[in-house]
Structure 1
Amino acid sequence: MEWKGRRQSSNVEDQRGASPGGLGGGPFGRGGGFRIPTGGGGMRRAGGGLSFGTIIFLVILYFILKAMGIDMLQVLEGGPVNMPGFEQSDGSQAPRGSAEEEEMKAFMATVLAETEDTWNGIFQAGGEQYEEPKLVLFNGAVQSACGFAQAASGPFYCPGDRKVYLDMSFFEELAQKFDAAGDFAQAYVLAHEVGHHVQNLVGVLPKFNQMRQRMSEAEANQMSIRVELQADCFAGIWGKYTEQKGLLERGDLEEALNAATQIGDDTLQKRMQGYVVPESFNHGTSEQRMKWFKRGFDSGRMSDCDTFSGSV
């Protein structure tokens, strides 16, 4: 994909290196996590005062941290912490990653910008305004409006805060574990999650979440497949507009179709357990995912992405 030198989206929040505090409902419990002692849980003697030895220790610790670039007085006053190896932007800390990581970040920001151009144009043509989603980059774990998630969860979209969450280490797994390498395969993953955002804006996700409360697990799985396949189709629409801009290179479309194949429910289950359980499918088979991405790519029209009528 020809992407270098093109506009990068400003809707990127880099939370790599940040601690996912306030993990309500997560493994640390509501409001858990680590904090700086502020008196109640500090280092106190039984008599209520600090010992001379403790004071000396704290003074030494202060100057050691100061030498490392950490001003504990600023921390205690509620200010930001500038950790070595981190750079600050818009009040948030972001690690200085390797050159490869920074290039991946630039690529994701460029792909996000291309999805913005695509969907802004489509919505405007229909007399509507497109609300652009945020892309949150994290590593390890993250707290979202949908709850606490780890990298193992894979990329996801949260309707509650209208953000796409992505641990970029997923792409290494995509290439090595799922045999789906290539920049357009990576772009497809992001475009699919943005497709969920589009579904949220047009009312598909709210309706599904409402209906799911009254469904059995089997019924919810079947409806989930239709939701996921429509997101694949919407990703294909973005691919169509990208092709029209002349940004696709030889083999790009095949990369996306291969990625869709490799993450189909049947293919994943065969790889993980050696057999498939169709009743447990909730994203669609490899054939279905490839079919609906290709339909969106060939058509470029949202009206051709109706996965809720008839068979899929």
Structure 2
Amino acid sequence: MAERYWGHKIVGFRPIEKIIPYTVDGQVSCGTQPIPAQNAAYCPIGDFIAYDRNWSEQVYNDMGDAFVFYLLGHEYGHGIQQRLGIQYQFTIQQELQADCFAGAMIGDSIRTNDLTLDTGDVEELKAGLVSVGDPPDEPWFQEGAHGSPEQRQSSFFDGYDHGLDPCNMPAGGLGSVASAPSTPQYPGFPAPNPSASANPFPGTRNPFPGWTNPLPGPTTPMWPW
């Protein structure tokens, strides 16, 4: 579904190379960084999505199938950011856009009859998005921040209800570079703590707690997810 959707949205679209299931902590690595158990992540080095098969089955049983669609849609969204050269200054901007991309993919696919939700699926999505929100005391500008439960729900359902229009999709096709703003697009956020890291490309984590990707370095590609 993701390949079909993005293939109709991006000129010259190239699907993500591989979807890799794993079952053991560190069985799959992104560059030199092992991907831990109970996670899913997009890795630009090798252009793949990896997910813990056992954990995904647990998520399916605990939260329902609709949330698994969101999970993989979010990671695919990071792959789209990589293809379009989208690089925000703050992790939260990168993550909320991936939420919006996932919502647009699911909502638009419903509108074109490529996907049908069952009764209760929307509630599953709402509950799942709450479960992956940042804790109340996490600063929005902190490295690895993904957004509060309310922000994650809002970004996802903006895309779900209205398609890509609210997602800050850059103009042009594959290979174009987005002019990502250097300041947050979330009015009302307090100013960043001056003591916070000034690195303009902070390391980020996947939608679930437990893994922070390596910071960019002289020989490490930027990590735009």
Q: State the TM bucket, normalised to the shorter chain.
A: 0.5 to 0.7
For each residue in 1:8-35, what CA deviation from the matched residue of structure 2 results, as whole angstroms up to 9, or x when unmatched?
xxxxxxxxxxxxxxxxxxxxxxxxxxxx
Which residues of 2 match residues 211-226 of structure 1 at below 5 A?
A: 223-226=90-93
Q: Which amino acid aligns with 1:228?
A: E
Aligned position for 1:310: 185
2:53 is equivalent to residue 168 of structure 1? yes
Q: Distance in 2 between matches of 1:251 and 1:235?
A: 18
Gaps of 5+ in 2: 169-179, 188-225
1:238 deviates by 0.9
Contact 2:43/2:49 (8 A) holds in 1: yes
123, 148, 152: which is aligned to 1:285?
A: 148
Contact 2:23/2:53 (8 A) holds in 1: yes
3, 15, 19: which is aligned to 1:132?
A: 15
Q: Which amino acid aligns with 2:129?
A: A
1:194 deviates by 0.2
1:138 deviates by 1.1
For each residue in 1:131-189, what CA deviation from the matched residue of structure 2 results, as whole angstroms up to 9, or x when unmatched?
1112111111333343242433610001121100111222255368xxx5100111110
Q: Distance in 1 between matches of 2:5 and 2:35?
A: 30
Alignment CA distance shift 1:168-1:161 (3 Å): same
Q: Percent identity, aligned pairs only? A: 29
TM-score by length of 1: 0.49
79, 100, 103: which is aligned to 1:197?
A: 79
Alignment CA distance shift 1:118-1:175 (3 Å): closer
Aligned position for 1:263: 132
Aligned position for 2:122: 253
Q: Distance in 1 between matches of 2:36 and 2:59?
A: 13
2:9 is equivalent to residue 116 of structure 1? no
150, 159, 166: which is aligned to 1:296?
A: 159
Q: Which amino acid aligns with 2:70?
A: Y
SS in 2 for 1:278: coil
Aligned position for 1:84: none
Q: Distance in 2 between matches of 1:175 and 1:266?
A: 23
Q: Distance in 2 between matches of 1:181 and 1:265?
A: 18
Q: CA RMSD in A?
A: 2.3
Q: Distance in 2 between matches of 1:172 and 1:278?
A: 31
What is the number of residues matched between the two proteins?
168
Q: Distance in 1 between matches of 2:104 and 2:138?
A: 30
Contact 1:144/1:161 (8 A) holds in 2: no
132, 142, 158: which is aligned to 2:27?
A: 142
Alignment CA distance shift 1:151-1:172 (3 Å): farther
Aligned position for 1:82: none
Contact 2:96/2:147 (8 A) holds in 1: yes
Q: Which amino acid aligns with 1:122?
A: K
Contact 1:266/1:278 (8 A) holds in 2: no
Contact 1:139/1:151 (8 A) holds in 2: no
TM-score by length of 2: 0.67
Contact 1:157/1:165 (8 A) holds in 2: yes
Contact 2:41/2:51 (8 A) holds in 1: yes
Gaps of 5+ in 1: 1-113, 212-222, 268-275
For each residue in 1:202-227, what CA deviation from the matched residue of structure 2 results, as whole angstroms up to 9, or x when unmatched?
101xx44xx6xxxxxxxxxxx00010
Q: Which amino acid aligns with 1:226?
A: Q
Q: Distance in 2 between matches of 1:193 and 1:131?
A: 15
1:129 deviates by 1.2
Higher relative contact order (CA 8 A, sep 6+): 2
SS in 2 for 1:165: strand
Q: Distance in 2 between matches of 1:146 and 1:116?
A: 24
Structure number with larger C-alpha Rg: 1
Q: Distance in 2 between matches of 1:147 and 1:186?
A: 27
